[in-house]
Amino acid sequence: MIRIETSQIGENGYSVSGEEPGELLELERDPVARSDGPVRYELTVELGGQELVVRGQVEAPLRLRCSRCAQFFSTTVRVSSFLHAYEWAEHPEFLDVSADVREDLLLEIPGFPLCHDGCKGLCAQCGQDLNEGPCGCAPPERGPSPWSALDKLVATPGSRPPKDGHGRGRK
């Protein structure tokens, strides 16, 4: 838990930084994301009226499953402008920001993670990881395009009207 002792908050606010075990993210049963180390935080708390305003940054190393090749890869998700306000009265001694840190970090996980930009993914036929090399499957068959007949009409040489005066042996 990331808890801030409210008794430490003075006129100039209070800064805390540290690490929490990656279990904070509760990813144990997530099929595509795993914690890969401690969650790090650097936060400042300020008293504003009846509210405690917490801002700063948090980050966590993760293993994510690539949406193309299904391999896990290492990355770091980072929230560079964490900002939440809490009612002072609700938290007499400690302010627990764990849930917001967790939610904000999980929101940074991309919907379609990629191990790298050019990931070739898996062969749709045999399932081979095409990043490791070609698999020898024939490329997927495509039916005849409705445009192919039109292509011939347009591209056939000689279908243009002959130019005057330059005909060769056709007189």
From the list 3-11, 42-50, 105-113, 133-141, the region that binds Zn ion by CB under 5 A is 133-141
Tell whether residue 64 is a contact of Zn ion (CB under 5 A): no
Contacting range for Zn ion; rule: CB under 5 A; set: 26-34, 46-54, 63-71, 90-98:
63-71
Contact 130, 68 (CB under 8 A): no
- How many angstroms separate the CA atoms of 17 and 80, rounded? 14
Question: Residue 150 interacts with Zn ion (CB under 5 A)?
Answer: no
CB within 8 Å of 2: residues ≥ 6 apart: 18, 20, 24, 39, 41, 43, 96, 97, 98, 101
What is the size of the binding site for Zn ion (CB under 5 A)?
A: 11
Q: Give the nearest distance from C-beta 71 to Zn ion in angstroms.
A: 6
Q: Which residue has the tokens 């400690």?
A: 94
Q: What's the min distance (Å) between Cβ of 162 and Zn ion?
A: 50
**Under rule CB under 5 A, residue 68 binds Zn ion:** yes
Select the residue interacting with Zn ion from 2, 24, 52, 119 (CB under 5 A).
119
Contact predicate 4/54, CB 8 Å:
yes
Contact 45, 13 (CB under 8 A): yes
Chain residues that interact with Zn ion, rule: CB under 5 A: 66, 68-69, 115, 119, 123, 125-126, 128, 135, 137
